[in-house]
Amino acid sequence: MKFATKAIHAGQHPDPATGAIMTPIFQTSTYAQSGVGEHKGFEYARTGNPTRSALEDCIAALENGSYGLAFASGMAAEQAVLSQLSAGDHLLSCDDLYGGTYRMFESVMRRYNVETSYVIAGSSADYERALRPNTKLIWLETPTNPLLRLVDIRAIAEVAHRYHILLVVDNTFSSPYFQRPLDLGADIVLHSTTKYINGHSDVIGGALVMKDEQLYQALKFYQNAAGGVPGPFDAWLTLRGIKTLALRMRQHEENARIVARFLLEHLRVEKVYYPGLPSHPDHELAKRQMSGFGGMVSFQLKGTLSDVDTLVRRCKVFTFAESLGGVESLVCHPASMTHSSIPQNIREARGLTDTLLRLSIGIEDSEDLLLDLEQALG
């Protein structure tokens, strides 16, 4: 099946009891068992729920994986991956990444004696040089949050596997519509399904997808042991959102290209970050690794923090808010919002300055988006 068909049908079948086309919301915490060790495949809803299973199977199909696991948030999915590490292990990560992920590495995992080091916008050779004898996991986000740099998944997967290291790719910014890391050699794909996968800014969720059965069993064990699972209604809403993923991603991208070109020409804009622009340092890699450039655009405003404040207050169609990937356009100030947990000196060294703004381009009419930005930029 092709992507748009899988988005609508994978993991979902008419309900055998009633014929209902839509997967029911199995709002139950437990299941009747007929005798000792005899049941219909479901015992307790932390362990399994049919609405959640449909979501897990659907996301797995979209990522060309064999197994999916759904979580209560993207961070809960991250924690499940990190649970595969032990005290004394080393984690190697790209340096531009979601502030909450950095916080998890530095403020949580470090206390368990798992050290993380970061590679600055590097090639696979840079990753290979940064490996240590105790490196057990390589963590990539691509495109990165918020600077939209790309990392070569295929080349780094080759390095990771040569050294028997697991490779996880956070595919939140691209969505499986534009990029499928398992096809490029990654071991685990991670999503904050809060973003494009659900797409309607009304659910917090996360997911993992993999091909390897042993890895699936280990992560499934942790999912049940720790219990960070989504409720059935959130699983159902996310399934409903996924049905339009292909349509939405096409429109996000079309609008993002228009906005990126507009910003590039604007006198009040210092620099635009969008992988679809030929001037982007990773444009060639983006063309090779992704089938489109996505819906996120970041830019540096000429001016000061106070000019940034004026701009976000003037926006009418864009809403000043954290998060991304919903149908509505958002503007975010990473330094004070999504990336504020990164110390200022490290943030600025990474190019994440006070005048950086991140746009999540929605699927509104692009003319309205340009008019709004024009008046907000003044």
374 scored as a contact of ligand P1T (CB under 6 A): no
Q: b or e along 226-237 (b: 16 or more beta carbons within 10 Å of the residue's beta carbon)?
A: eebbbbbebbbb
* Residue 75 binds ligand P1T, judged by CB under 6 A: yes
Instruction: Closer to ligand P1T by CB, 128 or 172: give it.
Output: 172
Determine which residue in the list 55, 159, 204, 285 makes contact with ligand P1T, applying CB under 6 A. 204
Instruction: Please say whether the dihedral angle defined by the alpha carbons of residues 28, 29, 35 and 41, taken in this order, is positive or negative.
Output: positive
CA distances from 5 to 172, 234, 290, 356 (A): 21, 22, 20, 38
How far separated are the first and last CA of the chain, in Å rounded? 48
Residue closer to ligand P1T, measured from CB, 114 or 324 = 324
Per CB under 6 A, 53 contacts ligand P1T = no
Residues 324-363 that bind ligand P1T (CB under 6 A): 324, 332, 338
- Taking residue 244's Cβ as centre, other Cβ atoms within 10 Å add up to 17
Q: How far is the CB of 175 from ligand P1T (least distance, A)?
A: 11
x/- letters, 288..317, toward ligand P1T (CB under 6 A)? ------------------------------
Q: Which of 51, 79, 172, 329 binds ligand P1T (CB under 6 A)?
A: 172
Q: Is 145 in the site for ligand P1T (CB under 6 A)?
A: yes
Q: Is 135 in the site for ligand P1T (CB under 6 A)?
A: no
Torsion angle, CA of 167/170/174/176, rounded to 10 degrees? 70
CB of 192 to ligand P1T, least distance (A): 3
> Among residues 52, 195, 248, 257, which one is catalytic?
195
**Contacting range for ligand P1T; rule: CB under 6 A; set: 94-102, 131-139, 175-183, 209-217:** 94-102
Give the helix ranges, DSSP H, for the chain.
Answer: 3-9, 50-62, 74-82, 99-103, 124-130, 153-162, 175-178, 213-226, 232-242, 245-265, 283-289, 305-314, 344-349, 366-377
Please confirm, yes or no, whether 183 is among the known catalytic residues.
no
Minimum CB distance to ligand P1T smaller for 166 or for 204:
204
Question: 331: which strand partners?
Answer: 320, 359
Two tokens, residue 276 = 């679809």
Longest dimension (CA), the chain: 73
Alpha carbon 197 to its chain's center:
9
- Phi and psi at 319, nearest 5°, equal -105, 135
The residue range among 44-52, 96-104, 115-123, 178-186 that interacts with ligand P1T, by the rule CB under 6 A, is 96-104
**Is 343 in contact with 349 (CB distance < 8 Å)?**
no
Tell the smallest beta-carbon distance from residue 321 to ligand P1T (Å).
8
Q: Is 194 in the site for ligand P1T (CB under 6 A)?
A: yes
What are the DSSP E strand ranges found in 107-187? 115-119, 135-141, 166-170
Q: Are 333 and 312 in contact (CB under 8 A)?
A: yes
Active site residue 302: no
Choice from 89, 170, 253, 282 touching ligand P1T (CB under 6 A): 170
- Residues serving a catalytic function are 46, 98, 170, 195
Binding residues for ligand P1T, rule: CB under 6 A, are: 73-75, 98, 100-101, 141, 145, 170, 172-173, 192, 194, 204, 206, 322-324, 332, 338
